[in-house]
Structure 1
């Protein structure tokens, strides 16, 4: 039976990402490690891949549904020695006020033991009350061990260990001391992506050193043996198109928000994915039949994107001639007339759509959404629905809802709005989705690429 364990925490900022990355680094020296991330996050998985050399799979119940999530998890377990799952937010935080879609929900679904990472920087005996609460809140969740983060000294650790093991019976697996050298910088959407970081090897070398010195690796491997089997209904067989369909995928510092399993699905269906850089390349790759512009941070690289006039012209010409183009969030911003950053500087973008994008200091949309197509487009026919999420600090200036391609709503219908842009075979939207949420979208996109261009 393949080993697996989830690294979770009471709340964001406890240190689960640091511990997860450190364990991935140490275990990858001896084992084939398959990384996973609960939820829709793009950035943490970029670090998982950097550390392990293996693409990280997102496990998001809202977008994928329980069966597809189990399939994407279980299909990989036999190829690896251990699966290491980084959780999201607090262990029981799900959609709205429920635990639906939470890390606890995923742990139960996948029969995974859970190791709880506790920020113990300002705690003593009270740590027992905290751990007991998480253990007893839902006893169907197999919380099997505890790791402390931001521990002040070895004496502090032994105090915490004595309390938890005495009062809860859980095994304490070690700790991480406070150390500035292992802290990774953040900005408005979370960690700075791995592709932009300098000196990562030194940071991870230090983290690995601390993990090996202070964490019980053998104890974690023993807990990982508690992982149970996962049963699921096999999805509909993937039938590839007869001919390969070359699709250019924007992949650089400005655009890198993609789900690895979604890209793999495009390839299984017959897509030949060709990466390119809107920052550095002169034009889109020759011979491609479609273009995929994912999310990312165009606002950070607005000057470089703006100055690459030949690339902008190449994309604009392709769109006007009818090439199918799908753009999500950052990709949408790139296709607008201009991008205004927080410093008030405005940069010319591709100009497919006569609206401007403008950065704001607060989140404009955040969380899961459901989008219904208001008209036929390259992904869906009118009336089709897709689940996804939005997470952005920008707004569109001059946008007219009459041109919207989606009606978008929160899962509980507490908010409903129209959004998205269409021009010929170009679809641009703030909604991030996962092709495995509706494989028909991926196939329709490739068919449109094959037929329209």
Structure 2
């Protein structure tokens, strides 16, 4: 096996809301804008919004690594595949370093660090803390001998004397380097951070903000020290039969899959789109806000996003909504996740207003003020559907503030919920003709059969409709 020397870091913390995203964005911006390095970003766990920012900062698609959804071999293979041409790779963790779904820490950031043999930089929120930073950091250093905590970044430091006390305690009791200090009140502000949405007209403002972030982060971080730690990571080997390795690309005659991708529908893992192409599909992207008609396609993939925020524009684009409804009635294969599920219903109610959606499936959607489903979801395929064999288990995740109401009792469900909420706590995955629509978000590396199934259905549709 070929070995790859990939400098790499995992950004972890004792708990959530310690400043990992702030530090990661600042570090990436400094490495890219100030040092002109090629940086490959990763995000631990299921997430779409933070990766969109890590992608914008680095100019490279951020990849998700998840120990609940993926095996260690899959994680390592994906990491090597996407990092081997980069100068350095940075993984932003989630929650506390050792927090997982069980007492063994399954699915934790530490599990990712072990899988890719990466040193961890611990971001510590030092609010109202001085000498106590030492036993805190010491505990993280020695909790798991397979995880190397190689440096600390101090966040929310009040004043020079506060910094001096923190540094002194870490030096005396831990012997670990301090590789960055972010003063209290100093924030990295990106325009329109809410929902991860940046209007095209704000692109100049975004670039200016990133340049300012890079300058500030370079003042706060020891970039040379961080890179030295990253370069000490041991070589990683390619794995035989590398997961997600590129197959044959479409030859021009493959089925066409339309992907709704715009400001309303933006939640797509890069691997999902790549898997469809590697299975032989040609992808075309559809703007649900502005494209007046549905182009000629052999299947649709409608991902998640924020249809409620753009419900007025979705409603106004009546031509596309009617085209989608007619295509579904004709039997077009459609795979829809979360926001896509919401779009296929009759009506969506948000903030006291009700908007017309496609009406392809007989239910309504109501937005609540708090999550109705949040976290990993595991479903058993219990009913007939276009894409998955009955009896199989599918791991994914959900995060939705919406719930379905006025559901036609004749609608069928494909999934029995083993873990999570789904549509009603027991079921998920509505089916109708060629449609499967669920709250469950899947990742192609966790559900490799999905892409082949969707492309296979698209091929069948293409043969049927083109020869009819």
TM over 0.5: yes
Structure 2 residue 440 is the aligned partner of structure 1 residue 431: yes
CA contact (8 A) 2:411 2:431 kept: no
Give the total of aligned pairs: 446
1:193 — aligned with what?
196
CA apart distance, 1:287: 2.7
- Distance in 1 between the 2:108 and 2:235 partners? 20
CA apart distance, 1:377: 2.3
Structure 2 residue 132 is the aligned partner of structure 1 residue 126: yes
Structure 2 residue 391 is the aligned partner of structure 1 residue 383: yes
- Three-state SS of the structure 1 residue aligned to 2:81 is helix
Of 45, 49, 56, which residue of structure 2 is paired with 1:43?
A: 49
**1:9-408 equivalence runs, <5 A:** 9-29=13-33, 30-179=36-185, 181-183=187-189, 192-195=195-198, 198=202, 199-231=205-237, 232-235=239-242, 240=248, 243-284=253-294, 286-341=295-350, 343-399=351-407, 400=409, 403-408=412-417
RMSD of Structure 2 on Structure 1 (CA): 2.2
CA apart distance, 1:181: 4.9
Residues 152-161 or 345-354, more deviating: 152-161
CA contact (8 A) 2:133 2:169 kept: yes
Residues 431-440 or 397-406, more deviating: 397-406
Question: What TM-score do you get using the length of structure 1 for normalisation?
Answer: 0.93
CA apart distance, 1:375: 2.6
- Distance in 2 between the 1:10 and 1:328 partners? 33
- Distance in 2 between the 1:431 and 1:168 partners? 43
Counterparts in 2 of 1:407 and 1:195: CA distance versus 1, 3 Å = farther
CA contact (8 A) 1:145 1:172 kept: yes
- Three-state SS of the structure 1 residue aligned to 2:129 is coil
Counterparts in 2 of 1:52 and 1:401: CA distance versus 1, 3 Å = farther
Counterparts in 2 of 1:4 and 1:239: CA distance versus 1, 3 Å = closer
- Distance in 2 between the 1:162 and 1:78 partners? 38
- Three-state SS of the structure 1 residue aligned to 2:74 is helix
CA apart distance, 1:376: 3.2
Structure 2 residue 456 is the aligned partner of structure 1 residue 447: yes
CA contact (8 A) 2:325 2:358 kept: yes
CA apart distance, 1:167: 1.2
CA contact (8 A) 2:43 2:63 kept: yes
CA contact (8 A) 1:407 1:419 kept: yes
Q: Unaligned regions of 5+ residues in structure 2, if any?
A: 463-468
